Each structure stands twice: as structure tokens, then as C-alpha cells.
Chain A
Amino acid sequence: QQQVKQSPQSLIVQKGGISIINCAYENTAFDYFPWYQQFPGKGPALLIAIRPDVSEKKEGRFTISFNKSAKQFSLHIMDSQPGDSATYFCAAKTGGFKTIFGAGTRLFVKA
């Protein structure tokens, strides 16, 4: 009930391509869905977030698509760059309660 399932585990994309990471959840009480980017040796940094009353949110090259009925959401990274190579985590949260993280996707963008 509390899990957030993330796929794929790893992803290799050519420079300039589109990176797509998918997540699914079960708990309909979740009301906030952030994506985090983590570089080796660093803590996660908030990338972009969405609430379930919105189907899409775009910030620069990063877009979240949200499907409330399917309980799925995804991150699209347009024009992927080598500097985007990192681990990406989707997450879900209910009000002030804990943030539940997915297992992570290791993205490698080939130059």
C-alpha cells in the first residue's frame, strides 16, 4: 500500500534524446509527487513535483506526466545531456507524513 514502484532500474540514452522514467503507486491518499536527482556522494535534490489535480507539469527540459486513474506518473527529460547522468528517484507523500521513495533509476547519457 505504501510502495512506489519505479522503472527502469537503469537507462542509457544518447545525448539529445528523451529519457523516460516511470512510477506507479497504490495509496490513493498520496497527494504530492516529487522527483529527486542524486549525484554520487550527494543528497537527493528536488527536481520537479506535481499534485494529483494536474495532469502535466513542465519546468525547462523536465516534464512530469500524471495519470490519476492509472495511479502512474512519469518523468521525461528532453534533450538529455551528459550532465543529466545521475540517479533519479520518484517519490510520493501524504500531507506532512513521510516521503516514500522509489528504488531509483540510474541514467547515463552518452555523449
Chain B
Amino acid sequence: DAGVTQSPTHLIKTRGQQVTLRCSPISGHKSVSWYQQVLGQGPQFIFQYYEKEERGRGNFPDRFSARQFPNYSSELNVNALLLGDSALYLCASSFYIDTEAFFGQGTRLTVV
């Protein structure tokens, strides 16, 4: 079985640009969560989606948005990129909202 897949793996963007990150959950999993991991720190929760509805939101500005599609894949959008948005963005999927989450390899975003 394929694990959580994220694309792209690496991305370089300029300040002020917009970026879209994609996540395909493990087959059968209905919940997707997004985390931001700044170098040298633990992952910080951004969003959780379950059955295409937002179920949780972390302490991130409105520049961050996400959605989940009918096939349970998900996109994370970040507008008006700042240098501080440079991080590893992790997607995690789980079968239900409260079952164990499995992480993808992440998308390394660099804002220059």
C-alpha cells in the first residue's frame, strides 16, 4: 500500500507569491492534517480536514487555507509568501479523525 504522498518535494518561491501544496492520503483514510515544521523545531498544526470539512485550525494567519476533495486528497494554499514561511510542510492522514496519523515526506518550501 502506498503511504501518504506529497507533491512537490521541493519548491522555491519569491516573497509575495502564492503556493499550492498537494497531499494524497493513504487509501481508505478520510482525514488529512497539515503541519508546518520550521528547521530545528517540532511540527506545528495548521489544519485538519475530515470528510471534506474543516475540523480544526491552528494559530496561522488567513494567508493559509486548505481544502479536501471528494477523493480525500487535499491542498494547502499559502498566499503572499513571507521569508518566515520557509519550512517543511507535512501532510498526515488517518482513517478517522481520532485514529493514528501517518505522515508523508513533506514539501520543502523555500521563500527567497
Q: Which residue of B lies closest to A49 (CB)?
A: B100
Chain B residues with CB under 8 A of A34: 100
Given contacts A43-B90, A44-B90, contact A98 B45 (CB under 8 A): yes
Decide if A12 is an interface residue (CB 8 Å cutoff): no
Decide if A60 is an interface residue (CB 8 Å cutoff): no
Min CB–CB distance A25 → chain B (angstroms): 13
Q: Is the CB of B106 within 8 A of A43?
A: yes
Q: Is the CB of B43 within 8 A of A101?
A: yes
Q: Is the CB of A43 within 8 A of B42?
A: no
Chain B residues with CB under 8 A of A98: 33, 45, 48, 56, 58
Min CB–CB distance A81 → chain B (angstroms): 23
Q: Mark A59-100, 1 if CB is under 8 A from B, else 0.
A: 000000000000000000000000000000101000111111
CA distance A36 to B42 in the complex (A): 10
Chain A residues with CB under 8 A of B90: 43-44
CA distance A104 to B44 in the complex (A): 12
Decide if A46 is an interface residue (CB 8 Å cutoff): yes
Decide if A11 is an interface residue (CB 8 Å cutoff): no
B residues 79-112 in Cβ contact with A at 8 Å: 90, 92, 96-98, 100-106
Q: Is the CB of A101 within 8 A of B55?
A: no
CA distance A96 to B45 in the complex (A): 13
Q: Which residue of B lies closest to A6 (CB)?
A: B42
Q: Which residue of A lies closest to B97 (CB)?
A: A96
Q: Is the CB of A43 within 8 A of B33?
A: no
Decide if A54 is an interface residue (CB 8 Å cutoff): no
Min CB–CB distance A48 → chain B (angstroms): 11
B contact set with A: CB distance below 8 Å: 4, 33, 40-45, 48, 50, 55-56, 58, 90, 92, 96-98, 100-106
Nearest 4 pairs of A and B residues by beta carbon: A101-B42, A43-B103, A96-B98, A96-B97
Other contacts beyond A43-B105, A95-B98, A99-B101: 5, CB < 8 A:
A44-B43, A46-B100, A89-B43, A99-B45, A101-B42
